[in-house]
Structure 1
Amino acid sequence: MKNLFLFTFWVLAGMSAQGQPAANADSTHVLFVGNSLTYYHDMPQMLQAMLAEGGHTVRIHQSTVPGMSLRGHLDQIITRMDGESTYTRPKMDGEITGTENALREREWDVVVLQEGTVPVMIPEARAFLVAPAIASSKAYLNAPCRFILFNTWAADTTYPRRYCYPSGLIDASLPDDAYCSGEFGNLSEHTRALNAGYEELAKAANMEKSNHGDLFERIRNDHGEIDLFDDAFHPSAAGAFLNACEFYYLLTGSNPTALEYTGPLDADQAQTLKRVVDRYHQ
């Protein structure tokens, strides 16, 4: 299912993927904050199943909302949800959002932050929207915590391609104009620009980033028989599985090819995706 768990702070099943009791005090707790790019095809559940098979006492939690930016996670109160549509209002003094509550819920070991892809490629959007939201998210945690920026992938699109936001979507202080990414002539240019935006954000915030942009590009170039997309932006089941494999490696340092877990994929396809992640990190 694409969106079995759409919103609110939840703990995966309260149990391991193999039905064992949920985390004890020695478990590593990981919180994902993001939107449908994170939860599509139940990627966090796939990751939890991998961790359970590998014998890792890591528990995955998430606060995800369809279409929600990192900034929205911290300043918008959800009033209604209808399928993939989310209706919000600005929070008022004294209110806290669901994600703020999640960030305060415990002393997290790892927090993964995921932003929509387009604002990362537009310099003004990075500066006014994404970077402050990352800083604010980090400020909720006083205890030492490992932060990972989810480096998403280039869209399934045609080229040349440029992405633009009007000033009203970025900041009222900007002159009334369109603010744009560079123009990309091909997938490689698109991926490099996206990765560079994430690298700038991660370096400024003193945090790690994932490598999903590179991994998606490798699969698209070398294994065209594997369709990574459900639409222009959202991952297919195979794309979600690839995402889980990368996070499995980042959280454990372990090789995903040693796992038997294949999720919804056939064994050959799953093994190909695991192998690409393993070779990337060699």
Structure 2
Amino acid sequence: MRISWPSTSIVKTGVLSLLLSLPALGLAQQPAPNTILFVGNSFFHARYDPAFSYNAANITIEKVGKQKIGPWGGIPGIFKQFTEQAGLRYDVHFECINGESLKMHYDSALYIIGQPRWHTVVLQEHSMWPLPTARKGKPAVFRDYATRLEQAVHQANPAARLYFYQTWARADQTYPPNQAYSGLPIDSMAQDLHRGYYQAARQNGRFAGVAPAGDAWLRAIEAGVALRNPYAPEADKVDLWGPDHYHPSTWGAYLNACVLLGEITGYDPRRLGPAEQAAAALGIAPAEASSLQRIAAEQVLAARPTAFTPAATKHKTPRPARSKRRQKQATSSR
């Protein structure tokens, strides 16, 4: 029996039809990831393991000069894990100069920060500089260099979204004698940091928001979830501070990452649930993870009630950088 084979042109047409049908079969190419840069110091990498090195292999460290870098994962690493579980595509980068301010980042790392590839940039100031000058702060310098960095980012990519990462009250500056907040409740430093960051965001007007990590710490304390004074431990409360009483503990780092997730992506951290993978890897009990997720969600919503609505998350899709000509037009129109 003679078999008739299809012509070459028919085969080509069939293959082409199959390729064109792949998107309809759910095999369409995924959108580009949101490329995010975290800019700060050890208040981002958290200093202490297990948070310090957590998920370090899955984020990119942007090295500045000859600085030594370790397996820094920290809060950016936890954030990255959250986005994976939430089904969000984030390419996470971290530029860190230990113990330094935004002025140092501007002076030493502007060539990294002012690149058009960043869709999202998160800025963290030195833990004392947003405070009033009477409390060892440098608020004018903080606002000046935050604005300089914002302008550099938006000159490179006017569509980029910038956020402040509001840090938390330091127990070491509150409970021991002869410190900036000695004799005052922990609330005092927390409230001053809140004012410093939110005033800077309002004054500039080109920041997308503030990730209120410090406010979430105070909320956790007031809710009885976390210790008010790490120098006087209480049973059944987590300690948000690390052994030095100013860097975050594992629990503090986890809470901060939950706040960043909610504020930046619009994803409600409570949806992660008690069996969340980063918590399990970090040794955080399921009940503790749920409590910290709840506190973070409540604080983000307290500052911005529409944070988790569908309309509020439409802008999270990365937008490409404008052409050089459009960048000049945007800069000249300020």
User: Offset of 1:100 from its aligned partner?
Assistant: 1.7
Counterpart-to-counterpart distance in 1, 2:120 and 2:34:
8
Q: Which residue of 2 aligns with 1:273?
A: 292
How many residues are treated as equivalent by the alignment?
A: 219
Please list every run of at least 4 consecutive aligned residues from structure 1 whose deviation after the TM superposition is greater than 6 angstroms.
none
* Contact preservation (8 Å) 2:168, 2:193: yes
Q: Secondary structure at the match of 2:125?
A: coil
Equivalent residue runs for 1:75-90 within 5 Å = 75=107
Counterpart-to-counterpart distance in 2, 1:276 and 1:136:
33
Equivalent residue runs for 1:101-140 within 5 Å = 101-123=111-133, 125-127=138-140, 129-140=141-152
Unmatched tracts of structure 2, length 5 or more = 1-29, 52-73, 228-236, 306-334
For 1:62, the aligned partner's letter is F
Q: Which residue of 1 aligns with 2:213?
A: 212
Counterpart-to-counterpart distance in 2, 1:116 and 1:205:
19
Q: Judging changes above 3 Å, is the alpha-carbon distance between structure 1 residues 247 and 55 closer, same or farther for their aligned structure 2 residues?
A: same
* Contact preservation (8 Å) 1:159, 1:186: no
Counterpart-to-counterpart distance in 1, 2:177 and 2:195:
19
For 1:250, the aligned partner's letter is E
Match status 1:53 vs 2:89: no
Which residue, out of 31, 42, 59, partners 1:36? 42
Q: Which residue of 2 aligns with 1:197?
A: 196
* Contact preservation (8 Å) 2:211, 2:264: no
Deviations 1:65-96 (A, max 9, x none): 21121101122xxxxxxxxxxxxxxxxxxxxx
User: Offset of 1:147 from its aligned partner?
Assistant: 1.0
Unmatched tracts of structure 1, length 5 or more = 1-23, 76-96, 164-181
Counterpart-to-counterpart distance in 1, 2:163 and 2:144:
16
Q: Which segment drifts farther, 257-266 or 52-61?
A: 257-266
Q: Secondary structure at the match of 2:37?
A: strand
TM-score of the two chains, using structure 2 as the length reference = 0.61
Q: Secondary structure at the match of 2:80?
A: helix
User: Offset of 1:232 from its aligned partner?
Assistant: 2.5
For 2:36, the aligned partner's letter is V
Counterpart-to-counterpart distance in 1, 2:115 and 2:183:
41
User: Offset of 1:246 from its aligned partner?
Assistant: 0.5
Q: Secondary structure at the match of 1:154?
A: coil
More strand by share: 1
Which residue, out of 158, 163, 170, partners 1:155? 170
Which residue, out of 236, 242, 252, partners 1:239? 252
User: Offset of 1:25 from its aligned partner?
Assistant: 6.3
Which residue, out of 95, 119, 138, partners 1:63? 95
User: Offset of 1:160 from its aligned partner?
Assistant: 8.2
Q: Judging changes above 3 Å, is the alpha-carbon distance between structure 1 residues 257 and 25 closer, same or farther for their aligned structure 2 residues?
A: closer
Counterpart-to-counterpart distance in 2, 1:145 and 1:184:
42
Q: Judging changes above 3 Å, is the alpha-carbon distance between structure 1 residues 130 and 117 closer, same or farther for their aligned structure 2 residues?
A: same
Measured on the aligned residues, the alpha-carbon RMSD in Å equals 2.3
Q: Secondary structure at the match of 1:26?
A: coil
* Contact preservation (8 Å) 1:71, 1:130: yes
TM-score of the two chains, using structure 1 as the length reference = 0.71
* Contact preservation (8 Å) 1:160, 1:185: no
User: Offset of 1:150 from its aligned partner?
Assistant: 0.9
Deviations 1:127-172 (A, max 9, x none): 1x21121122112222222111111111113188763xxxxxxxxx
* Contact preservation (8 Å) 1:161, 1:184: no
Q: Secondary structure at the match of 1:32?
A: strand
Larger-gyration structure (1/2): 2
User: Offset of 1:278 from its aligned partner?
Assistant: 2.0
User: Offset of 1:255 from its aligned partner?
Assistant: 1.5
Counterpart-to-counterpart distance in 2, 1:44 and 1:227:
20
Counterpart-to-counterpart distance in 2, 1:47 and 1:145:
19
Q: Judging changes above 3 Å, is the alpha-carbon distance between structure 1 residues 160 and 52 closer, same or farther for their aligned structure 2 residues?
A: same
Q: Secondary structure at the match of 1:209?
A: strand
Counterpart-to-counterpart distance in 1, 2:187 and 2:263:
24
Q: Which residue of 2 aligns with 1:228?
A: 240
User: Offset of 1:106 from its aligned partner?
Assistant: 3.2
* Contact preservation (8 Å) 2:175, 2:182: no
More helix by share: 2
* Contact preservation (8 Å) 1:131, 1:201: yes
